[in-house]
A and B are shown apart, each in its own frame.
Chain A
Amino acid sequence: DGGITQSPKYLFRKEGQNVTLSCEQNLNHDAMYWYRQDPGQGLRLIYYSQIVNDFQKGDIAEGYSVSREKKESFPLTVTSAQKNPTAFYLCASSILLSGEQFFGPGTRLTVL
């Protein structure tokens, strides 16, 4: 089945540690996205990529980093510079110029 997978589903991190969230898609989509979701805030764009080896900052990129070495993979690293990383993180992908995005099941990150 085609789709987007995110792992792990739950992640716990100690303060000061970097952590990487995985996102893989087998839909052959060119574009991939990372969002952060907090209660009552909707979805806020962290980073997006429209082509391999290229990516752009979204609205809240500070404290996060990404890479896009393969078309199907778009991992997100939450660094120690992110002051309030506890949130639900969603990965999405889309066909370029279609508008419609397909979402993964999400990763819930908790900082202890």
Chain B
Amino acid sequence: AQSVTQLGSHVSVSEGALVLLRCNYSSSVPPYLFWYVQYPNQGLQLLLKYTTGATLVKGINGFEAEFKKSETSFHLTKPSAHMSDAAEYFCAVSEGGSQGNLIFGKGTKLSVKP
């Protein structure tokens, strides 16, 4: 069965510092991978996705992620944190590539200190 592990339920960075949120997955087939962001009491918004092709994926709000098959990872990064980045971030993998449902990690809450 597929699974997603997000290392660190809480991450705190200073404004302007690098943001790194870690995601590892397990999948027996080529995965589709997603990062979503959630602000308090709101739904999830797609940040970026990897399906096929280029392994470095750029998303909205300056975020990017790199698919590393050998490490089964899809870590999310942003060079310089902004106060508005404070939110909860979810990594997800699609069962069977495009065929199936999403399996979500438990989320990482990002705090940004002024």
Interface residues in chain A, defined as those with a beta carbon under 8 Å from any beta carbon in chain B: 4, 6, 33, 40-43, 45, 48, 58, 88, 90, 92, 97-106, 108
**A97 CB to nearest B CB, Å:** 5
Interface residues of B in 35-89 (CB under 8 A from A): 36, 41-46, 49, 51
Contacts of A92 in B (CB 8 A): 44
Q: Which of B41, B44, B94, B107 has the most CB of A within 10 A?
A: B44
Q: Which residues from chain A contact B45 at a C-beta distance below 8 Å?
A: 103
- Docked pose: A102 CA to B36 CA in angstroms: 10
Residues of A within 8 A of B102 (CB): 43, 99, 101
Other A-B pairs, 10, CB within 8 Å; known A6-B43, A103-B43: A41-B106, A42-B105, A43-B102, A88-B41, A100-B34, A100-B46, A101-B102, A105-B42, A106-B42, A108-B41
Compute how far the CA of A104 lies from the CA of B45 in the bound complex, rounded to whole angstroms: 9
Q: Is the CB of A48 within 8 A of B43?
A: no
21 pairs, CB–CB < 8 Å, chain A vs chain B: A4-B43, A40-B107, A42-B90, A42-B104, A42-B106, A42-B107, A43-B104, A58-B101, A88-B41, A90-B44, A99-B32, A99-B34, A99-B49, A99-B94, A99-B97, A100-B34, A100-B49, A101-B102, A103-B36, A103-B43, A104-B43
Whether B14 is near chain A, meaning CB under 8 Å from some CB there, is no
In the complex formed, the residue of B with least CB distance to A105 is: B43
CA distance A15 to B36 in the complex (A): 33
